[in-house]
Amino acid sequence: MCLCLGPTGSGKTLLLKKLQNRDAVDTMSSTVPTVGTNLITVRFGNQKETTIREVGGAMAPIWKSYYSGIQKIMYVVDASNLCQIAAAGVLLYTILAEPCLQKAKILLVLSKMDASYRQMRNEALLMLQLTRLKKEISQDIAVVEASAMTGEGIDNMLKWLQGDSIAPCKSKK
């Protein structure tokens, strides 16, 4: 099982809907903040599937109770909301410091890339101090730029969920 975590409003629910069904999300799609958890199953073309548990951002104080046995975490940050990134970083550091998650693979998803300009991606990574963080932690962190509206990054998210390595994000102008 994979956990999907991130602050309230980061775009977790729409991304998961898009992972489940590429046609399920369009410009008219909207959601309400997840209160509690959602379980979704993502099916891959090769008859395999995986379950993802989305835990609402408002439940951050009790995320720890969902960590047992988790080997993958998708952490979603709204790249179009620089005001939220500092708080998102604190939550991410809390996850990475958990002893039971030291071997977990982490996918940092910079969401809502359709609503942000490309330089915001670089600013978000700087604010999260990702380069420094990667040197100091034991977990493997991959980064994906994504948009539930355009489908950007969905293929890389699916590859990561299947255990395939994904190409590192390159700076785009």
- Low-confidence stretches of the chain (pLDDT < 70) are 25-30, 116-119, 167-173
3-state secondary structure 4-65: EECCCCCCHHHHHHHHHCCCCCCCCCCCCCCCCEEEEEEECCCCCEEEEEEECHHHHHHHHH
Supply the pLDDT for residue 171.
Answer: 41
Give the model's pLDDT for residue 121: 75
pLDDT at 172: 42
pTM of the model: 0.89
Phi, psi of 23 (to 5 degrees): -90, 0
pLDDT at residue 113, rounded to an integer: 83
- The domain 2-161 is placed in CATH, from the list 3.40.50.300, 3.60.21.10, 3.40.50.2300, 3.10.20.30, at 3.40.50.300
- DSSP state at residue 67: -
The residue assigned the tokens 């956990």 is: 3
**DSSP three-state, residue 118:** helix
Residue 78 vs residues 144, 145, 151: alpha-carbon distances, Å? 12, 10, 15
Residue 173: half-sphere exposure toward Cβ, Cα within 13 Å: 0
CA angle 124, 57, 51 (to 5 degrees): 100
CA distances from 17 to 21, 23, 25, 29, 87 (A): 6, 9, 7, 10, 25
